[in-house]
Amino acid sequence: MSRGLFLILFLFVATSVSWPVELPVPSSAEFCGDCHRAIEEGWKQSAHSQAVESRLFQDAMKLAETDYGASARKTCLSCHSPIAVQSGDLALVKKVSWEGITCDYCHSMRDVTLTGPNPKAIVDYSLVKSGPWKDVNSPAHGTVYSPLHTSALICASCHEYRNALGFSVLTTYSEWSKSAYGAKNQSCQSCHMYQVAGNVVDPRVQRTADAGINLHQIPGSHSMQQLEKALHAELSASHEGGQLRIVVEVSNRGAGHSVPTGSPMRQLILEVHADPYGGAPMSDRRVFRRTVGDAKGATIVRESQAFMKGAKEISDSRIPPGESRKETFTFAVPQGTRTEVEANFIYYYSPMATTEAQQQIKFLSLRKLVE
Residue range 265-289, pLDDT digits in tens: 999 999 999 999 999 999 999 999 9
High-pLDDT (> 90) share of the chain, %: 79
Residue where a domain terminates, one of 196, 214, 232 = 214
Does residue 108 belong to any structural domain of this protein? yes
Q: State the average pLDDT over residues 21-41.
A: 87
Distance CA 19, CA 34 (A): 17
The answer to whether residues 233 and 176 belong to one domain is no
Does residue 365 belong to any structural domain of this protein? yes
What's the half-sphere exposure (Cβ side, CA atoms, 13 Å) at 351?
11
The answer to whether residues 269 and 188 belong to one domain is no
Beta bridge partners of 122: 111
pLDDT value at 2 more than 60? no
Of how many residues is the chain composed? 371
The answer to whether residues 58 and 177 belong to one domain is yes
Does residue 53 belong to any structural domain of this protein? yes
Residue where a domain terminates, one of 214, 249, 283 = 214
**Pairing status of strand 195-197 against strand 168-171:** unpaired
The answer to whether residues 179 and 282 belong to one domain is no
Using 50, 70 and 90 to split pLDDT, how confident is the model at 84?
very high
Residue where a domain terminates, one of 162, 179, 214 = 214
The answer to whether residues 22 and 105 belong to one domain is yes
The answer to whether residues 27 and 165 belong to one domain is yes
CATH number at residue 326: 2.60.40.10
Distance CA 138, CA 10 (A): 13
Cα 197-201-204 angle, rounded to 5 deg: 110
Does residue 236 belong to any structural domain of this protein? yes
Does residue 219 belong to any structural domain of this protein? no
The answer to whether residues 361 and 336 belong to one domain is yes
- What domain range includes position 12? 3-214
pLDDT at 62: 95
Tens of pLDDT along 203-212? Answer: 766 666 666 8
Does residue 170 belong to any structural domain of this protein? yes
The answer to whether residues 154 and 80 belong to one domain is yes
Does residue 204 belong to any structural domain of this protein? yes
Identify the DSSP state of 319. B
The domain tally of the chain equals 2
The answer to whether residues 206 and 345 belong to one domain is no
The answer to whether residues 209 and 92 belong to one domain is yes
Q: How many CB atoms lie within 10 A of CB 109?
A: 21
Beta bridge partners of 101: none
Q: State the average pLDDT over residues 86-103.
A: 96
The answer to whether residues 80 and 187 belong to one domain is yes
Peptide bond into 260 cis (omega under 30): yes
Identify the DSSP state of 132. S
User: 55-68 and 71-80 helices cross at what angle (nearest 10)?
Assistant: 150
Task: Answer whether 129's CB lies under 8 Å from 137's CB.
Answer: no
Task: Answer whether 211's CB lies under 8 Å from 200's CB.
Answer: no
The answer to whether residues 38 and 125 belong to one domain is yes
Task: Answer whether 219's CB lies under 8 Å from 225's CB.
Answer: yes
For residue 78, how far is the Cα from the chain centroid? 16
| pTM of the entire predicted model | 0.89
Q: How far is CA 205 from CA 11, 34, 127, 140, 283, in A?
A: 8, 9, 18, 10, 59
Using 50, 70 and 90 to split pLDDT, how confident is the model at 241?
confident
pLDDT at 329: 98
